[in-house]
């Protein structure tokens, strides 16, 4: 009888350990959709296809690049970038620009793949949340979809763990109001937040934004706005005395 009891206790312990380990694995995997792979674009703080304008002085932490447009369309100065400045030709900022058309072609291609991946995710957890106005909300991890534009008129919080993922699919424009903040809570990380936007993106004066912007068109960052994330535009990025910092990996 004692042997049977001992055997039963061992089976119970094994079952409990199995449940615990499964729970731990699920926690490690995080909540929400699978993250979007950025491929060779994952070192860039700013990547655009048709140029980067700048009102001096901005501060960029991470790599910067433009392709296929000439390096003459990348108007940041060397002292504004803590990272590499990649251009397709020798017309980029001197003396720091790195001419590497092959690498840029790969990075821009991966940027496009990332946009298509995010746009193609199916079965959203939330559809048309707030009728396109998310200011004042606290958002859990998940896949969000809007058939029109998205507004952030007051502060918004993204609350979740360090392995949780948010993907925002926006069929229209994304506009963040002046002096508003996108804030992370609960250990959420900017590297796991993806804003796929078909229209133009505008971040307001002195606003703060978190996450990776996958823009189909233009990304305009107004005076004094800051970003913890990445700005990937299939047209241009415009800066005005901004702080753009690539997210911690």
pLDDT tens, the chain, 249 aa long? 444 444 333 323 333 333 333 333 334 679 999 999 999 999 999 999 999 999 999 999 999 999 999 999 999 999 999 999 999 999 999 999 999 999 999 999 999 999 999 999 999 999 999 999 999 999 999 999 999 999 999 999 999 999 999 999 999 999 999 999 999 999 999 999 999 999 999 999 999 999 999 999 999 999 999 999 999 999 999 999 999 999 998
According to the model, what pLDDT value does residue 28 have?
66
Distance CA 198, CA 61 (A): 26
Spatial CA neighbour of 31 closest among 170, 125, 142: 142
Distance CA 55, CA 100 (A): 25
Hey, how many other C-beta atoms are within 10 angstroms of the C-beta on 31? 16
- Residue for token pair 């004094």: 224
Q: Count Cβ neighbours within 10 Å for each residue of 106-122 and write b for 16 or more, e otherwise.
A: ebbebbbebbebbbebe
Spatial CA neighbour of 33 closest among 192, 246, 213: 192
According to the model, what pLDDT value does residue 17 have?
33
Q: Using alpha carbons only, how large is the chain's radius of gyration in Å? A: 21
According to the model, what pLDDT value does residue 249 have?
85
Query: What region, left, alpha or beta, does residue 31 occupy, with left being phi > 0 and alpha being psi -120 to 50 degrees?
Result: beta
């Amino acid at each position: 009888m004692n042997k049977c009891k001992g055997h039963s206790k061992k089976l119970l312990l094994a079952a409990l350990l199995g449940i615990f380990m499964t729970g731990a694995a699920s926690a490690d995997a995080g909540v929400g959709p699978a993250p979007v792979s950025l491929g060779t674009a994952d070192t860039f703080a700013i990547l655009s296809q048709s140029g980067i304008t700048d009102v001096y002085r901005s501060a960029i932490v991470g790599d910067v690049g433009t392709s296929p447009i000439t390096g003459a369309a990348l108007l940041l100065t060397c002292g504004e970038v803590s990272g590499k400045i990649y251009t397709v030709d020798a017309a980029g900022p001197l003396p720091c620009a790195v001419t590497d058309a092959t690498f840029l072609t790969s990075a821009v291609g991966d940027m496009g793949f990332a946009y298509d991946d995010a746009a193609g995710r199916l079965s959203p957890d939330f559809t048309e949340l707030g009728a396109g106005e998310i200011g004042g909300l606290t958002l859990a991890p998940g896949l969000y979809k809007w058939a029109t534009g998205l507004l952030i008129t007051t502060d918004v919080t993204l609350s979740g763990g360090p392995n949780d993922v948010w993907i925002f699919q926006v069929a229209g424009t994304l506009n963040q109001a002046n002096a508003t903040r996108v804030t992370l809570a609960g250990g959420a990380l900017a590297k796991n937040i993806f804003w796929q936007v078909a229209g133009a993106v505008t971040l307001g004066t002195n606003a703060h934004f978190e996450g990776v912007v996958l823009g189909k068109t233009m990304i305009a960052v107004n005076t004094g706005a800051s970003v913890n994330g990445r700005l990937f535009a299939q047209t241009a990025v415009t800066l005005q005395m901004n702080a753009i910092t690539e997210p911690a990996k």
